[in-house]
Amino acid sequence: MIGSSWSRAAGLWASGLSYPPDTVSVVHLRYSFRVYPTRPQRQALARTFGCVRTVYNDAVAARRAAHKAGTKYPSGVALARTLITDAKRTPERAWLGSVSVVPLQQVLRHCDRAYRNFFESLSGKRAGGRVGPPRFKRRSGTQTAEYTRRGFRLKGNGRLYIAKIGDLKVAWSRELPVEPTSVTIVKTVTGKYYASFVVAVDDDETLEPVETETGIDLGLTSFAVLRGGRTIDNPEFFRKMERKLKQAQRALSRKQRGSANREKARLKVAKIHEKTRARRDDWLNKQVATLVRENQGIYVEDLNVRGLSRGRAAKSMHDAALGKFLTLLESKAARTGRTFARADRCFPSTQLCSACGALTGPKGLDGLRHRTWRCGCGAEHDRDANAEINIRREGRRSVAEGHAET
């Protein structure tokens, strides 16, 4: 499983190292498998991707035109009738009829959702960072086409039937737990094809309770410091591939635009990025699985990842992917019945002495040089180990008072 998303019913439990209630909610998981289309199927998929991209771009253009003219935005139903049904009858868009209508309708729903997220972000109804308006899709980017149940079928011989594409060969690495509700055919920048299934299952993945708990102090020198001074080294996947990437990008810049050699050089650069991302994602998922399996309570610091990613250590922050790590950890903890809490980002975990509670630790940018320090009470502290103790205590306190989501 390359990625997963989850949703829980309302109802949080918060009382120390608590356990989830007996109610079972439904979660949606995503399972991705490599597919190997034949040459005619690749050609049919290319037509489908092109039609999906065209309909999406036409929808974005129509809404931009409405905004410029000061008129009401066209509804999804009106766009579907104009950009799909009526467009098929015109000579300019007659080729839309050569592909299944299902992915064309789905991409209009995606466009509508993207605009809804944009407007809710502007008004403050949507939590999280600011979301920008939808942009035009490019031919050189990742191509996708989503099919609902009426557009695909799993066959008994292990093949995946896609409407107007045919039976695709799938490299099954595991069994799907239930019948999928939708599938998205993905073509990556490097030319690989994947089938990404969405399945709805009961949220019953609760693990056996354990007695241990840990705080997590994240950083760049060490990726994380856990309870007892245990550290997780920073793998620095991008740093290790940076020299090879630099050479590939220089070779790409010297190639003539539109030439076959430039396409080969572009593919080489894309493969380096893809390999780096795959290694990082695999490592992050393994670390998250280990932490959730070994600890009943997990407490972290609510880092301002977006702000830290704009400073002097921006490249290292992006390489470490601390934001993605926290998102995966919170999701996995919620699904497995583990207690998870974030200490407030203003909490002085580094400056606070874990022995006496005095704020005598190193402060500011100059304090980053000091990895160990002595408090006035006589206690000597390792900077990161002391921060982990304080984060763990603050997390337990917030959970006990019912202020944290668990």
What are the CA-CA distances from residue 321 to residues 181, 278, 281, 300 (Å)? 31, 13, 9, 15
What amino acid occupies position 183?
V
Task: Point out which residues pair with 182 in neighbouring strands.
Answer: 148, 198
What amino acid occupies position 363?
K
Of 173, 172, 151, 170, residue with least CA distance to 162:
151
Cα separation, 371 vs 216, in Å, equals: 17
**Active site includes 281?**
no
Of 328, 341, 348, residue with least CA distance to 396:
341
**Which of 213, 217, 319, 330 is the catalytic position?**
217
Structure-token match 């280990």, residue found: 290
Task: Point out which residues pair with 388 in neighbouring strands.
Answer: none
Cα separation, 382 vs 31, in Å, equals: 42
Of 89, 85, 79, residue with least CA distance to 59:
79
**Active site includes 217?**
yes
Burial 220-233 (b: 16+ CB within 10 A, else e): eeebbbbbeeebbe
**Active site includes 301?**
yes
Cα separation, 262 vs 285, in Å, equals: 35
**Which of 319, 384, 388, 394 is the catalytic position?**
384
**Which of 58, 146, 203, 301 is the catalytic position?**
301
Q: What is the DSSP letter of 83?
A: I
For the annotated catalytic residues, the residue numbers are 217, 301, 384
